[in-house]
Structure 1
């Protein structure tokens, strides 16, 4: 069985990869050389740095070549390959390609790359550059399969939890390298130091917590960031620490819609 190719290995992509793998499909994950996942504990892209990444008992491994990847990948072991441009797609000729980069724009996925192409979120047009688009905006239409047109435009404001929206996400106050002063899963108070940004001249700029809550995501130590770059995510719900280490409801919903399309295509129930 040819592997399904998923472009991107962040937390939303990982929800899709997990569901496909558990349903019996081998998955090849194409990533950048330096992924910037915030929710690192539930992102298979961490295998780029660590060699392996385990999410809810499923282990993904990094391969250094396409040959190694194809010799390793199985439904029980998704494989991560550094290939930001998707050059491997031409060689593999997969039955399905899922663009889960969530860049809010199309970074090169084309409808002719596979028998079935799926784009997650805004930046794609169903029936034009991909066959189907999956809605990624939280709300009534989350996970909806779009057969004609586009997903909702990105607002730049995360979905509200306990009345907190934009406050939940922290951005770099300046350019430099980030160094954490706490860990994912830690309980923090508003104003408490969670990270620092070291500029090129060695100056340290503090990054305080924006609200009371649990650090659900924090970019890895030493990562180079630009001013305004998303660096952390705080969950205001008390007692929800386990959520930092499990796939989110949003990622599961989107993954279920992708799996639905893959299964339908396999049975010849989709029309292009």
Structure 2
């Protein structure tokens, strides 16, 4: 089957191996979006991810969006590669890999003609996703109302309802409190002390002690708020505003795992899969 690229009158997109009913576009390519992508990929869906040019995820070791920084990214044995255009998207899919393409305003969704769209940006508000963008639209967490601007919303707050599918109405409100790990919530999240350029002095997986220098924003030092493992860390060279999340320290230390999809991402991924199957019956 051939499909014309609306961005170029001379380019013909070939997608001979892609089953059209298996194509899923995920907006966002951070750690939660990646957990969804891993679960869907393992179930035989063909996943395409979109993001901004310089994603600001901190759990970069488990974020497919990291491939936009120049190298292919592998998570749990699945490889993601940056796609420069729609032809590259289908070439990468045909290699059983996940393409990630820079497409901040989701302009390529109509061209890809995917039956499923998942908004996994997790901005706590709707950045433009609406039901008419795809036959089946699913969104994550606060900012969406199922039945109005999407077909289903997946609960993202930790607790009893994490991963629950909502077909009518909104999810729970944003609590503003990070998930509890070993008794720590907001304490484990490191935020920028000022506006400036971020540069780390540690790496993911390092064990640090409270007060250790872990990064700088311009010339201002950033220290570890507690003992633990560096589980999240922003990419060097990014400009951040004051109070922007730049790192995450896991108080479990060596017992923490920064290389695989989190329990939260896996649960949300299960909710997305449930909604997709339910809505396509």
- Report the TM range for the smaller structure's normalisation: over 0.9
Candidates 81, 97, 119, aligned match of 1:61: 81
Candidates 172, 197, 209, aligned match of 1:177: 197
Q: Which deviations, in whole Å up to 9, do the C-alpha atoms of 1:94-113 show, x marking residues without a partner?
A: 10000000000111111011
Unaligned runs of 5+ in 2: 1-18
For 2:167 and 2:94, how far apart are their aligned partners in 1? 30
For 1:27 and 1:93, how far apart are their aligned partners in 2? 13
Contact 2:207/2:254 (<8 A) preserved: no
Q: Which deviations, in whole Å up to 9, do the C-alpha atoms of 1:148-193 show, x marking residues without a partner?
A: 1111111221011121110010100001111111111010000000
Unaligned runs of 5+ in 1: 199-203
1:67 CA drift (Å): 2.1
TM-score normalised by structure 1 residue count: 0.93
1:75 CA drift (Å): 8.1
1:207 and 2:222 equivalent? yes
For 2:87 and 2:66, how far apart are their aligned partners in 1? 21
For 1:74 and 1:226, how far apart are their aligned partners in 2? 40
**What does residue range 1-272 of structure 1 map to in structure 2 within 5 Å?**
1-2=19-20, 3-74=23-94, 76-198=96-218, 204-241=219-256, 243-266=257-280, 268=281
Contact 1:27/1:75 (<8 A) preserved: no
Q: Which deviations, in whole Å up to 9, do the C-alpha atoms of 1:30-87 show, x marking residues without a partner?
A: 1101100100000000011124110011001111012221232248211100001000
Contact 1:176/1:224 (<8 A) preserved: yes
Which aligned segments of 4 or more residues in structure 1 are displaced greater than 6 angstroms? none
Contact 2:67/2:80 (<8 A) preserved: yes
1:27 CA drift (Å): 0.6
TM-score normalised by structure 2 residue count: 0.90
